[in-house]
Amino acid sequence: MRPGPEATVSAPGDRRPVVVGVEADSSRRMALAWAADEAARRHLPLRPVRAEGLPTRGYRGGAVPPSWEAWNQELHRSGEQVLADAVAFVAARHPEVEVDAVLSEGDPVWALREESRRAAAVVLGSRHLSRAEEVFGSASVALPVMAHAHCPVVVVPEPEHITQEPTYYVVGVDTSEHSAAAVDLAFEEAALRGAELRALYVWEPGPLRIFDEHAAQQECRRLLSETVAGRGARYPEVVLRHELVVGHPVQVLTEASAHALGLVVGTRGRGGFTGMLLGSVSQGVLHHARCPVIAVPRHG
């Protein structure tokens, strides 16, 4: 096992791996399964990563490790076993997929962020933490990785929320430049899955109705049409529906994701979120979405 350029959409001949964070709990395999399926569809290698930070609140069972060397040895042994189980799982599911497992003895967020520099995507499992836990808790991985990743980050929920049949993808569209990268990847994913694509522009009117709402909605529709324009020619097999929806972004996107294969949104990348993933919206979408959430940083 080995210790472990920006990208948004894989190109022909691109061999950057699909990276997946591997959990110790063998019953939580949805992220690993999603990543293995994605690697198989794209004919890419899979890179399972297991990263462990040093203990900060004592040792297992409240005891203190006899030495840092003993801790590192146990960390290495347990990590190797977790990765061996993950490799066996992938081999049984997709024997054709090339697998290169990585054990990192560092902070998971840092390790996955560094892996994202050379990855086609980083895939994580959803812990379904509360908002406070997701933002401030030591168990939080998804938000800090998404905020600083150099490639798309996929957060996969629990199995009861996964749609198995090819239905449709949802992409959140706004006026930012980062939305274009999300739309590109959404079209690509829909084409790979043989699914339809719903492009949603969520418009939330302010409390003071001091403007012409009809004119504002018409402008939103124009911007939505401009954002998705041209992609249909590149992906003629994808049936596209673009919709302007009035409401709160978290509620609209959560409801739209109920029967979706995935929800794709754009992020600023490396330091924050913009548009539809600003502040509480990002946390709400991650916590409540019923399908995999794919956060895509801007091109270049």
**Residue 149 domain flag:** no
Cβ neighbors of 236 (< 8 A, separation 6 or more) are: none
Say what the pLDDT of residue 202 is.
83
Domain boundary among 125, 140, 171: 125
Q: What's the average model confidence in pLDDT over 104-126?
A: 91
Q: What is the CATH number of the domain that holds 118?
A: 3.40.50.12370
Cα–Cα distance measured from residue 183 to residue 238, given in angstroms and rounded to the nearest whole number: 12
Instruction: Give the distance, in angstroms, between the CA of residue 1 and the centroid of all CA atoms in the same chain.
Output: 25
Whether 64 and 188 map to the same domain: the answer is no
Q: Which of 243, 172, 258, 244 is nearest to 204 (CA)?
A: 244
**Residue 65 domain flag:** yes
Say what the pLDDT of residue 97 is.
98
**Residue 238 domain flag:** yes
- DSSP β-bridge partners for residue 173: 201
Q: What's the average model confidence in pLDDT over 13-23?
A: 89
Q: What is the CATH number of the domain that holds 192?
A: 3.40.50.620
Whether 175 and 284 map to the same domain: the answer is yes
Give residue 42's pLDDT band: very low, low, confident or very high (50, 70, 90): very high
Domain boundary among 125, 153, 187: 125
Whether 116 and 35 map to the same domain: the answer is yes
- Higher local confidence (pLDDT), 240 or 105: 240
The rounded percent of the chain whose pLDDT value lies above 70 is 72
State the total domains in the chain: 2
Q: What's the average model confidence in pLDDT over 8-24?
A: 78
pLDDT digits (tens, 9 = 90+) for 207-221: 656 566 677 777 777
Cα–Cα distance measured from residue 61 to residue 59, given in angstroms and rounded to the nearest whole number: 6
**Residue 29 domain flag:** yes
Cα–Cα distance measured from residue 142 to residue 184, given in angstroms and rounded to the nearest whole number: 22
Q: In what order do the strands lie in the sheet with 168-173?
A: 102-104, 46-51, 18-21, 121-125, 153-156, 293-297, 262-267, 168-173, 196-203, 240-246
Full domain range(s) for residue 45:
18-125
Give residue 181's pLDDT band: very low, low, confident or very high (50, 70, 90): confident
Domain boundary among 73, 103, 125: 125
Whether 178 and 279 map to the same domain: the answer is yes
Say what the pLDDT of residue 12 is.
56
